[in-house]
Amino acid sequence: MRISELAEATGVPVHTLKFYLREGVLMPGTATSRTRAEYGPEHVERVRLVRGLVEYGGVSVEGVRSIVRALESPPPSRPELLGVAHATLPAGPTRGEVSAEVAALVDDLGWQVWHEGPPVAELSSALEAARGAGVPVSPEALRRYARAMEAVAEVDVDVAAAAASPTEALHTVVVGTVMVDPVLVALRRMAQEAVSVARG
Amino acid sequence: MRISELAEATGVPVHTLKFYLREGVLMPGTATSRTRAEYGPEHVERVRLVRGLVEYGGVSVEGVRSIVRALESPPPSRPELLGVAHATLPAGPTRGEVSAEVAALVDDLGWQVWHEGPPVAELSSALEAARGAGVPVSPEALRRYARAMEAVAEVDVDVAAAAASPTEALHTVVVGTVMVDPVLVALRRMAQEAVSVARG
DNA sequence: CAGTTTGGACAGTGTCACTATCCGATGTCA
DNA sequence: TGACATCGGATAGTGACACTGTCCAAACTG
């Protein structure tokens, strides 16, 4: 298909597709002449991925570029997969050092995590910000939140393990981590309603 | 304290504080003369709230305005609290109708939720976006995610129930819902690592 | 072969969260 | 008292970002 048909198939204006091509988040089509190129279903898929990441994942175009680069590279081995995935994903704001409460939590839960990794720093900063905003998270509440997210991660790992190939597994982990976050946020709000009603 | 001292206490430039005053997200100090005003600890608190919501919650200044308006209004009764809170919070992107799978999920879990509420529409859209991005969420996975978020909501409701006054409860629910989201996201990434390692 | 479409270059737009500049009034300190 | 910094308030400018509009020549299309 030509660029105008790709635009029609995805609902994204031609101009925006050109922009994505320029920014390197959409791979070029196969040129049929100096001023003509052919696009296929993989381009449709890619455009939907880009839009999903930008609109729902809040990922910048530069972040998307780093993600699609990773998806196009030879996939890492199983144990390295998460490290690569988390290094690829755009990190939230981080400021201070890793707080003692996070170290205590990790220790308490028996989690084996990379203490210098982005998620640990992000958690410290997020807790600090919540405290500053007047909503301190008690150690007890934090523990219960962590247990719940462990259950989420169990699902994540199950889904990734079901992937047919390493390439697909990487795609599932990277894209799934970003795109499922808004799903969880919505579910949390719905669950708040449900629990609140159930408590009467 | 004067505006320059408020700036020093919060680490926010004076110019930005003036901007917040202009935008109505920071209440004016008590004027001591025509060109002088006095700020107190509640202003420090408010500034930290605004920064937290903007930086970590990804809330726009207009969204912050709606939130602080709600926090300053007479608090709603317990049963109305969540409705008011969710109506106040900035909604994620929503496009289509409520999908059948969401209705089925709610039915299956026995949740009593407002089907026309923002969270239900957001969930439908987020699921649709994930599908489009090549990471479909199976009904089984969705169910397990929902159960996990139910556990999160249990904590949320416990924390809110512990509030000393309706005003404080509203603050906890509104601000906590926004500020704890990034905490959960970070915990999810850490839990992914931990679970992945544990599975060996 | 007239008219449309394409790829490519390049600059412009709209939004948003600040940030800089001015101004006259007011504090502060020698 | 008077020099000088600071304050509030008003107005306008900045930089980042995700597009979006304009042009152009080449090349399809009917």
Residue A135: its chain B contacts at CB < 8 A?
A: 171-172, 175-176, 179-180
pLDDT of residue A34: 77
Rounded Cα gap, residues A31 and B156, in angstroms: 55
On whether residue B130 sits in a domain, the answer given is no
pLDDT of residue B42: 92
On whether residue A100 sits in a domain, the answer given is no
pLDDT of residue A159: 96
pLDDT of residue A26: 94
Q: What is the mean pLDDT of residues A52-57?
A: 92
A181 → closest Cβ in B55, B185, B193 = B185
Share of residues in chain A with pLDDT > 90 (%) = 75
How high does pLDDT run on average in chain A? 92
On whether residue A3 sits in a domain, the answer given is yes
pLDDT of residue A157: 96
pLDDT of residue B173: 94
Are A175 and A59 in contact, with CB atoms under 8 Å apart? no
Q: What is the mean pLDDT of residues B21-48?
A: 89
On whether residue A83 sits in a domain, the answer given is no
Rounded Cα gap, residues A197 and B25, in angstroms: 32
Nucleotide closest in space to A13 (CA vs C1'): D20
What's the CATH number where B157 sits? 1.10.1660.10
B76-132 pLDDT tens trace: 888 788 888 888 888 888 877 788 999 999 999 999 999 988 999 999 999 999 999
A58 → closest Cβ in B58, B120, B137 = B58
pLDDT of residue B92: 80
Q: Which of A169, A173, A174, A158 has its CA nearest to residue B199?
A: A158
On whether residue A164 sits in a domain, the answer given is no
**Rg, Å, chain B Cα set:** 20
Give the CA distances from residue A105 to residues A6, A112, A130, B176, in Å, rounded to whole numbers and listed in that order. Answer: 49, 11, 17, 20
Q: What is the mean pLDDT of residues A114-141?
A: 94
Give the CA distances from residue B171 to residues A38, A156, B74, in Å, rounded to whole numbers and listed in that order. Answer: 55, 32, 12
pLDDT at residue A200 tops 80: no
pLDDT at residue A172 tops 80: yes
Are B102 and A186 in contact, with CB atoms under 8 Å apart? no
On whether residue B125 sits in a domain, the answer given is no
**Contact residues for B15 (Cβ-Cβ < 8 A; gap 6+):** none
Rounded Cα gap, residues A83 and A172, in angstroms: 14
pLDDT of residue A117: 87
pLDDT-derived band at B32, boundaries 50, 70, 90 = confident
On whether residue A85 sits in a domain, the answer given is no
Instruction: Give how many domains chain B has, as a whole number.
Output: 1
Q: What is the mean pLDDT of residues B12-38?
A: 89
Chain C positions under 7 Å from a protein CB?
A: 5-10, 16-21, 24-27
What domain range is A66 assigned to? 1-72
On whether residue A7 sits in a domain, the answer given is yes
Task: Look up residue B183 and give its DSSP letter.
Answer: H
Which residues bind near strand D, taking a CB cut-off of 7 Å?
Answer: A 13, 15-16, 18-19, 32-36, 54, 60-62; B 2-5, 14, 18, 21-22, 28-29, 31, 34-37
